[in-house]
Structure 1
């Protein structure tokens, strides 16, 4: 058996991201899922681009604030203490709009923990 406690504030923030991102997967010793914590100020995006994953499922649990998630069909408003789940091959872009009055803090979990399955999505080139 193995157990790990990770203080998110002890984890370095990722470079070159549109908002604060702390990669928690490795510090937690996880291999089958990816776990990240995001803190986005008003006007900041969470992903690098509008995208989808070929095989990975994603879940965004909103710890505080309101997360907005744009999809091809509509934009969702996900309140604190709510979970937004994304199936593979489902395009999405998560963000905190410029007119928001507060930051949004999100815990994101993706499984399986794979690299290279991210594809850019162009909403205008459907």
Structure 2
């Protein structure tokens, strides 16, 4: 058996990201699911680019603020205490709009926890 706790403030934010990203699942030693905490100021996006995942399902649970999500078909506003789910091969770009009143804080969960399955999506195609 194994148990552990992780305080997000003890997890160093990832470098080179468009907003604050703390990899909670990795800090907890989880291998089958990715759990990340994002904090985006107005005008910042969560991912590095508009993208989709080949295998991974994603879920974004909004802890505070309002998350905007752009997809090829429509845009969504995900409010505090709402969950936005994304199937594999479904392009999306999650962000905090420029005109937002404040930060958005999101818990993102992805499974399986695979590296290298994110594919850039060109919205112009």
TM bin, normalised by shorter chain, reads: over 0.9
User: Could you tell me how far apart the structure 1 residues matched to 2:87 and 2:41 are?
Assistant: 26
Residue aligning to 2:4 = 4
Q: The residue matched to 1:26 in structure 2 has which SS? A: helix
- Consecutive unaligned residues of structure 2, counting only runs of 5 or more, are none
Q: Which runs of 4+ in 1 moved over 4 A?
A: none
Q: TM-score, normalised by structure 1?
A: 0.98
Alignment of 1:42-61 (within 5 A): 42-61=42-61
Within 1, Cα distance between the matches of 2:12 and 2:107? 16
1:70-89 equivalences in 2 (<5 Å): 70-89=70-89
Normalization by structure 2: what TM-score? 0.98
Tell me the distance in 1 between the aligned counterparts of 2:33 and 2:59. 11
Equivalent residues in 2 for 1:5-44, closer than 5 Å? 5-44=5-44
**CA displacement 1:28-55 (0-9 Å, x = unmatched):** 1200000100000000000000000000
For 1:49 and 1:100, the matched residues in 2 are separated by 20
CA-based RMSD = 0.6
Q: 1:2: how far off?
A: 1.6
Name the CA distance, whole Å, in 1 between partners of 2:65 and 2:32: 28
Q: Partners of 1:52 and 1:26 in 2: how far apart?
A: 21
Aligned length: 125
